[in-house]
């Protein structure tokens, strides 16, 4: 008898046109099992009635010559509602659930792509992937009130819309939100058995949707891929995180979110469209900000500053009520800032604008944190023209012009806590201290050699730790640092230069420790928190441990036993925080 193909094949084998061998349609099939654990975990057999989306991208779309695209005036900004229904009639080939379309400049280019016919998973395959609506709402509430206090989601309208019309919000976006907040949401932890299992469930759900979501740029998909990248990074899956963030960056570029003209609003614009415009602006700056946080040596920026004309976000009140602000701040180095420098240090700038600027400063310092004088900058660090001195001057000038409520104090922390914005506030003040620390820590080898007269500790990292490389072990030959090319080859430092630099370094470490201590006093046991706060604790503890071992490194703090006290406190805090984010486990082990 003639050989016949099996009656069913898994989605991966259908997509790759390979033979699918299995037992009674039970995943994983033989091919997926051989492809590795990731492919095996994602092996899925379609059910009768499911739409054949696995090979949809191979089919040549049939063009309707009678249909024409209606003129679109920046639909990313001028959507009919902030979070449109999951299914609605449209003349464009954007799949159901899209919350935004392409700008007029790119609509023809992307719609001519063969991938434009990719659609969402059918309701049969997505109805049961999320928990009951009340638990989804709770997970989203935890997300916007703790982890994501400043972000692109209009909190009140989003949660109300999710309660009254759950089908109006993209399932992909919800899965990505819950992949972050599930670990902090008691109902979801209880449902799935543990914080790790809850996180893994929603990560798996989000990953399964990626192939059908990544080829149709929209505002909601940018938001989803951005959040998925954060979750993957926190789960210690750096490669996937980088790829997902890359998708978000490319979509943002296609929609021209880096251009201020994309947010132009007509006169008497309805409040919901103002909110939608601001949401698009915020997602762009969140991408730029997060990429700065994860910067390390030789890490490129997603968008060059000279190409960004988008101004910074407005304050939370204007965002919530749909008001157009009277003025906006600008990021240093962008064309608007170069044309009007006063926009950078405006005394009226909001906390979100200050947050983005602080993370931008951190990104610039982190990308230079492993460079040594011989390889990059021939000027010694004590020269006013050196990289160290110009960085210190820039940081001091920016910090001196901060609005008073954006500087650290226990009073300000309490006030921001009352507004449920304390984590965003600490992400400004802690990252600023961290930037001061890392700029000087590059020369820790020289300080140790000059001030302690002891042999360098072999446990000292060969690179200055940043969020991008703190879990990696580089060799000093592949990444030369001041340890292998000491500043002594550039001449003799002025008297007391290293003493002054060391005192400035540990003064910032002490201030960072004070902020960590105050934060831990007010933190509730079930409160979510971003990874950057955990990294700040690790860096504070790491430098404190050196002061504990070498008190003469900075007698002002070391002689009083502050090094031991700060190191022990940071280890205590890190032990309480690291469990939520697997990527921080090595930081905790390093301090131990």
Q: What is the 3-state secondary structure (H, E, C) of 356-376?
A: HHHHHHHHHHHCCCCCCCCCC
On whether residue 119 sits in a domain, the answer given is no
Domain co-membership, 139 together with 264: yes
Question: Angle at Cα 99 formed by Cα 321 and Cα 530, nearest 5°?
Answer: 70
Residue that is written with structure tokens 């984010």 in the block:
581
Domain co-membership, 554 together with 447: yes
From the CB of residue 524, how many other CB atoms can be counted at a distance below 10 Å?
A: 7
Give the span between the Cα atoms of 561 and 305, in whole angstroms. 44
- Residue after which a domain boundary falls, among 291, 321, 356: 291
Domain co-membership, 474 together with 573: yes
On whether residue 402 sits in a domain, the answer given is no
* Phi and psi at residue 338, to the nearest 5°: -70, -35
Domain co-membership, 129 together with 40: no
Residue that is written with structure tokens 């007029």 in the block:
104
Domain co-membership, 427 together with 518: yes
pLDDT for residue 412 = 96
State whether residue 320 is helix, strand or coil: helix
User: Which regions in the chain score pLDDT beneath 50?
Assistant: 1, 3-4, 63-73, 77-126, 371, 373-376, 458-459, 462, 473-485
Q: Say if residues 323 and 317 touch (Cβ distance below 8 Å).
A: yes
Give the span between the Cα atoms of 147 and 316, in whole angstroms. 16
- Residue after which a domain boundary falls, among 233, 261, 291: 291
- Residue after which a domain boundary falls, among 244, 267, 291: 291
Give the span between the Cα atoms of 146 and 529, in whole angstroms. 6
State whether residue 182 is helix, strand or coil: helix
Give the span between the Cα atoms of 121 and 130, in whole angstroms. 14
Q: Say if residues 244 and 225 touch (Cβ distance below 8 Å).
A: yes
Nearest to 227 by CA among 70, 192, 210: 210
512-551 pLDDT tens trace: 999 999 998 888 877 778 888 888 999 999 999 999 999 9
State whether residue 515 is helix, strand or coil: helix
On whether residue 482 sits in a domain, the answer given is yes
Give the span between the Cα atoms of 199 and 231, in whole angstroms. 9
How many structural domains does the chain have? Answer: 3
On whether residue 378 sits in a domain, the answer given is no
Domain co-membership, 432 together with 574: yes
pLDDT for residue 451 = 87
Domain membership of residue 280 as a residue range: 125-291
Residue 25, classified by CB atoms within 10 Å of its CB into exposed (0-12), middle (13-18) or buried (19+), is middle
Domain co-membership, 10 together with 144: no
Instruction: List % helix, strand, coil for the chain (3-state, nearest 5).
Output: 55, 0, 45
The secondary structure of residue 377, as a DSSP letter, is: -
Give the span between the Cα atoms of 489 and 61, in whole angstroms. 66
Domain co-membership, 425 together with 284: no
Domain co-membership, 40 together with 143: no
On whether residue 391 sits in a domain, the answer given is no
On whether residue 270 sits in a domain, the answer given is yes
pLDDT for residue 532 = 86
Domain co-membership, 419 together with 509: yes
On whether residue 381 sits in a domain, the answer given is no
Distances (CA, A) of 76 to 71, 101, 279, 314: 13, 6, 10, 18
pLDDT for residue 59 = 57
On whether residue 312 sits in a domain, the answer given is no
Give the span between the Cα atoms of 435 and 364, in whole angstroms. 9
Give the span between the Cα atoms of 365 and 369, in whole angstroms. 6
What is the length of the chain?
592
First vs last Cα of the chain: how many Å apart? 68
pLDDT for residue 62 = 54
Domain co-membership, 38 together with 180: no
């Amino acid at each position: 008898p003639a050989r016949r193909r099996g009656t069913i094949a898994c989605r991966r084998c259908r997509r790759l046109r390979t033979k699918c061998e299995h037992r009674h349609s039970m995943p994983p099939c033989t091919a997926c099992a051989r492809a590795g654990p990731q492919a095996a975990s994602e092996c899925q057999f379609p059910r009768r009635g499911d739409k054949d989306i696995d090979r949809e991208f191979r089919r040549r779309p049939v063009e309707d010559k009678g249909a024409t695209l209606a003129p679109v005036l920046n639909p990313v900004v001028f959507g009919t509602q902030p979070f449109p229904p999951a299914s609605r009639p449209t003349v464009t080939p954007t799949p159901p659930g899209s919350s935004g379309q392409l700008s007029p400049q790119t609509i023809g280019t992307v719609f001519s792509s063969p991938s434009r016919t990719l659609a969402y998973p059918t309701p049969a395959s997505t109805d049961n992937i999320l928990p009951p609506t009340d638990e989804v709402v709770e997970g989203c509430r935890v997300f916007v009130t703790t982890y994501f206090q400043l972000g692109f989601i209009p909190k009140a309208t989003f949660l109300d819309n999710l309660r009254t019309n759950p089908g109006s919000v993209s399932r992909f976006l919800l899965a990505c939100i819950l992949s972050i907040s599930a670990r902090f949401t008691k109902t979801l932890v209880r449902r799935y058995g543990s914080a790790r299992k809850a996180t893994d469930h929603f990560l798996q759900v989000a990953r399964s949707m990626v192939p059908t979501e990544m080829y149709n740029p929209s505002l909601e998909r940018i938001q989803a891929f951005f959040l998925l990248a954060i979750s993957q990074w926190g789960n210690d899956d750096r490669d996937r995180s980088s790829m997902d963030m890359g998708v978000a960056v490319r979509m943002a570029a296609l929609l021209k979110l880096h251009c201020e003209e994309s947010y132009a609003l007509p006169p008497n614009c309805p409040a919901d469209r103002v909110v939608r415009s601001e949401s698009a602006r915020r997602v762009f700056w969140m991408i730029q900000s997060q990429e700065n946080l994860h910067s390390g040596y030789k890490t490129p920026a997603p968008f060059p500053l000279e190409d960004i004309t988008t101004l910074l976000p407005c304050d939370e009140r204007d965002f919530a009520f749909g008001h157009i602000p009277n003025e906006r701040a600008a990021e240093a180095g962008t064309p608007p800032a170069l044309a009007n420098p006063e926009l950078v240090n405006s005394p009226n700038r909001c906390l979100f604008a200050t947050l983005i600027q602080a993370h931008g400063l951190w990104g610039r310092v982190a990308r230079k944190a492993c460079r040594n004088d011989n390889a990059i900058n021939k000027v010694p660090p004590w020269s006013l023209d050196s990289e160290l001195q110009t960085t210190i001057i820039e940081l001091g000038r920016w910090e001196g012009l901060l609005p008073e409520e954006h500087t650290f104090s226990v009073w300000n922390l309490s006030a921001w806590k009352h507004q449920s914005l304390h984590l965003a506030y600490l992400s400004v003040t802690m990252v600023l201290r961290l930037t001061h620390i890392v700029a000087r820590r590059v020369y820790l080898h020289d300080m140790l050699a000059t001030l302690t007269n002891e042999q360098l500790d072999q446990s000292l990292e060969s690179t200055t730790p940043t969020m991008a490389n703190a879990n990696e072990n580089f060799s000093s030959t592949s990444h030369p640092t001041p340890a292998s090319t000491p500043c002594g080859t550039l001449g003799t430092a002025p008297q007391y230069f290293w003493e002054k630099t060391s005192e400035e370094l540990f003064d910032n470490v002490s201030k960072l420790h004070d902020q960590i201590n105050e934060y831990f006093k007010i933190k509730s046991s079930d409160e979510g928190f971003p990874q950057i706060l955990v990294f700040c604790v690790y860096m504070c503890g790491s430098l404190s441990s050196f002061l504990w071992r070498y008190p003469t490194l900075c007698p002002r703090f070391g002689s009083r036993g502050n090094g031991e006290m700060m190191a022990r406190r940071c280890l205590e805090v890190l032990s309480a925080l690291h469990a939520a984010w697997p990527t921080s486990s090595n930081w905790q082990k390093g301090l131990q």
